[in-house]
Structure 1
Amino acid sequence: MIRSLRLRLMLAAAVLALLFMLALLPALQKAFSLALQESIEQRLASDVTTLISAARIDGGKLQMPDLLPDEKFNLPDSRLLGYIYDRQGNLVWRSRATNDENINYTPRYDGRGNEFARIRQDHGEEFFVYDVEVKLLGGKSAAFSIVALQPVREYQQTLNGLQEKLYLGFGAALLALMLLLWAGLTWGLRSLRRMSVELDDVESGAREGLSAEHPRELLRLTGSLNRLLRSEREQRGRYRDSLDDLAHSLKTPLAVLQGVSESMAQREGEREQARVLQSQIERMSQQIDYQLQRASLRKSGLVRHQVALHPLLDSLCSTLAKVYRDKQVHITYAVPDQALVPMEQGALLELLGNLLENAYRLCLGQIRISLRVSDTALELCVEDDGPGVPVHQRERILQRGERLDRQYPGQGIGLAVVKDIIESYDATLTLDDSPLGGAAFRIRFPLD
């Protein structure tokens, strides 16, 4: 399927132009043929007039001079053929060029005066014939048919030459037309290209909406897109405000319940109930955090974010190094200095925070973070030298909805959050063995 609008228009225009030329070509060929035949008729009529002017009647007999006024009749190798027949159809004179020709022609003396026709000989050769009936020659009564002939092959050669030039001319015209159409479409679609550039700026965050400097036909589209962008921003803001309000409203009663459970734990007979209550409160808190993170970290549908990776990694690793300072974790970067990741900053912070927190907690002392960029994808990898994940558990772990905290205590819900974030950005997560000895989490972002 052709996805380029300009290419579609070019192909449609080329097909229409080709069909038009194919329809016009036979008409032009017919017009050339008729014009050429008319020219031949006029020339043969002129040759017949030359023969008539040279003919004389002497004693009732036709007399022709040895040398005619037109030298072409006097040359043996000339293709100008002239014949004179009497009323009974007997040949009474022929030009020198006809000595090598054996033409079977019978004049039709029927009172029409003159006739232009095309005849075919037994051996297949064709001739144009111009036949004029003459009743007076030199002021004396006479009855003769004066004929001039020309081979059709000369006409056909001329016509073929014209057709060849016509084909070449049409081909050159079609090529020139395609070039002009391409230039015209490039100029005409420049506004769409400018709109595309503005949309890229909107996606990258360089501008908030599309400008009004577009052709009149596109203003309705740009207006609709601007309204959609404003609506999305407003809805996203309202959504985040609602989520913040929800988080505060839920955390307050949970804090009260936590205090009640701590008071119960100080009483001897209620310690078991307090332990159960505290466990459920902690579980509810985790579930609230998880669901709020899932909802708030969804990417925008129209705005494409780009986040610098190095500063974010430095901040996270610095914080985690303080938390796990007893481990003396050695972390290695294999990340380009100006590397950008196509995610919202909050989402990337949550994703890497969960992966790195798991890596710090489970590693023996070494973590490696790498980023590879190709023409089609960007791959971010977090590796550690910890115990890794058994092969038979990987597929289940990476399925949507699986909870690592149920499979491996201490993992919590971090990987579930990571999985949700990755899916919201059309990325993929795979889990492999790391050369360091532990697990390697690979996140692959497709590049448009």
Structure 2
Amino acid sequence: MNRRWRRLQARVRHRLRGAMSLRLRLMLGAAGLAALFMLALLPALQGAFSLTFERVIEQRLAADASTLITAAHVEDGRLLMPERMPDEEFNLPDAQLLGFIYDRRGDLVWHSRSAADERIDYRPRYEGRTSEFLRTRDAAGLEYFVYDVELQLAGSRDNAFSFVTMQPTSEYLSLFDEFRRQLYLWLGSGLLVLLILLWLGLTWGFRTLKRVSAELDQVEGGQRQHLSDEHPRELLRLTRSLNRLLDSERRQREQYRNSLGDLAHSLKTPLSVLQGVGETLAAQTQSREQAQVMQAQIERMSQQIGYQLQRASLGKSGLVRHRVELKPLLLSLCSTLDKVYRDKHVQVEMQLAEPCLVPMEQGALMELLGNLLENAYRLCLQQVRISASHHEGDLLLGVEDDGPGVPVGQRERIIRRGERLDGQHPGQGIGLAVVKDILDSYGGELSLAESALGGAALRIRLQAD
């Protein structure tokens, strides 16, 4: 048992000390998700920047086109433009802002000085649309933003013109490249800062696992009996399960010590008898009666050893929670006992809650109920009642009979540990001793009372969760 506990401790400590690798896995997972998120965010930000910047350029070219429209006037069906435009960029030969005016047939009728040397194959045709924003290229492949607004001057269709302003995309492309470099820099820096903060957060969050590991070391060293409850609620079930296992192991060791003492005490008398018979047999080689006595004592000793070892093996696991359905087990036990006590014609009444699951390992529950029902069948006159109900989170089991019952002054005595080793009249004493041991290992309670049937009522309380 101690080896099993040490192996469990070693596995738990190994897993807790593996928190660093768990933290590293969480970090790698978080870093991967953050990188994927930023990679998905990058085109969205670039698209938003491009759309916003193009709208700014469109608004600027629209304002420049308004300047052309304001400066234009028609006389005698001819378009007249001033020598110098109000916007000085139209007047500079090397300026980036270009201005053009086309008639309704798409022929160029005017261009700004800044567009004098440009060879741009753009021929709009008046279609009555208000404005249009697009891109075009010149003969050298240089790309331009184009804003084209169509307007009728003097309210005449003959005086319909397309006022076009252009600007090279090179400035936009250089700004977009600079924005992209800055975006990569800021997103990379943000990812690095995020990972550092995440690492610090995980380091702080995993400190509680180190505290659990330290408390396990203290339990192993005998410096404390239980793990504390000062842990996050996600770990409370683990620590409480380990505490239950500690209590179970402690009770198990106590049972072993008691069982060994009981076994040694139980074997004293049979061994003395065997010793005497052996001496007699040594003197008389032919003695059937002495041989029979020896066999009886050996059988008695075997029964005592079996009982003590069975008692010592009973125990509750601190981590595994068993659930056994009660009714099928009762039906099986009652069927067996009906055959044993068939002359009594015992009537069994069951009052069971539905569903009724007992938080106990099946072998232990069968041993417990087998002893209680065997006592009830043996002592009853004709009637046995079995009940099971839930009360305040606990499971209440009861076995009653219509037999002679137990005197009030004897009820506590017969379930005390020192009263169960009556070898000549084992009956209820040993049976209740086994029941008491099983319930102690599962944190249950056993009590005796008077039954409404007239006999004894044995009541058991178990924690349902």
Give the equivalent residue in structure 1 for 2:39: 22
Give the equivalent residue in structure 1 for 2:58: 41
Is 2:120–2:137's contact at 8 Å kept on the other side of the alignment? Answer: no
* CA 48–253 in structure 1, closer or farther in 2 if over 3 Å, else same: same
SS at match of 2:149: strand
Measured on the aligned residues, the alpha-carbon RMSD in Å equals 4.1
Are 1:196 and 2:213 an aligned pair? yes
Give the 4+ runs in structure 1 shifted more than 4 A. Answer: 137-141, 240-258
Distance 1:168 1:153 in 2: 23
Gapped regions of structure 1 (runs ≥ 5):
259-448
Are 1:128 and 2:145 an aligned pair? yes
SS at match of 2:153: strand
Give the equivalent residue in structure 1 for 2:243: 226
Gapped regions of structure 2 (runs ≥ 5):
1-17, 276-465
Q: Deviations over 1:105-158 (max 9, x none)?
A: 101211112211112345432211111122116999722221111112222222
Is 2:19–2:209's contact at 8 Å kept on the other side of the alignment? Answer: no
Q: Deviations over 1:284-334 (max 9, x none)?
A: xxxxxxxxxxxxxxxxxxxxxxxxxxxxxxxxxxxxxxxxxxxxxxxxxxx
Tell which deviates more after alignment, 235-244 or 146-155: 235-244
Give the equivalent residue in structure 1 for 2:93: 76
Residue number among 154, 171, 184 corresponding to 2:171 in the alignment: 154
SS at match of 2:241: helix
SS at match of 1:239: helix
* CA 140–109 in structure 1, closer or farther in 2 if over 3 Å, else same: closer
Deviation at 1:242, TM superposition (A): 4.9
Deviation at 1:191, TM superposition (A): 2.4
Q: Deviations over 1:394-441 (max 9, x none)?
A: xxxxxxxxxxxxxxxxxxxxxxxxxxxxxxxxxxxxxxxxxxxxxxxx
Is 2:92–2:113's contact at 8 Å kept on the other side of the alignment? Answer: yes
Give the equivalent residue in structure 1 for 2:229: 212
Are 1:165 and 2:182 an aligned pair? yes
* CA 230–25 in structure 1, closer or farther in 2 if over 3 Å, else same: same
Residue identity opposite 1:223 in structure 2? R
Q: Deviations over 1:208-248 (max 9, x none)?
A: 21012122232221111011112223323443555677789
Q: Deviations over 1:4-52 (max 9, x none)?
A: 2222222222222222222222222222221111111111101101111
* CA 79–251 in structure 1, closer or farther in 2 if over 3 Å, else same: farther
Distance 2:26 2:153 in 1: 69
SS at match of 2:83: coil
TM-score (norm. length: structure 1): 0.52
TM-score (norm. length: structure 2): 0.50
SS at match of 1:84: strand
SS at match of 1:4: helix
Is 1:118–1:126's contact at 8 Å kept on the other side of the alignment? Answer: yes
Matches within 5 A, 1:393-404: none
Is 1:56–1:138's contact at 8 Å kept on the other side of the alignment? Answer: no
Residue identity opposite 2:251 in structure 1? E
Deviation at 1:253, TM superposition (A): 11
Give the equivalent residue in structure 1 for 2:116: 99
Is 2:100–2:110's contact at 8 Å kept on the other side of the alignment? Answer: yes
* CA 66–122 in structure 1, closer or farther in 2 if over 3 Å, else same: closer
Matches within 5 A, 1:36-435: 36-136=53-153, 142-240=159-257, 242=259
Count of matched residue pairs: 274
Deviation at 1:178, TM superposition (A): 1.9
SS at match of 1:199: helix
* CA 68–15 in structure 1, closer or farther in 2 if over 3 Å, else same: same
Distance 1:79 1:136 in 2: 27
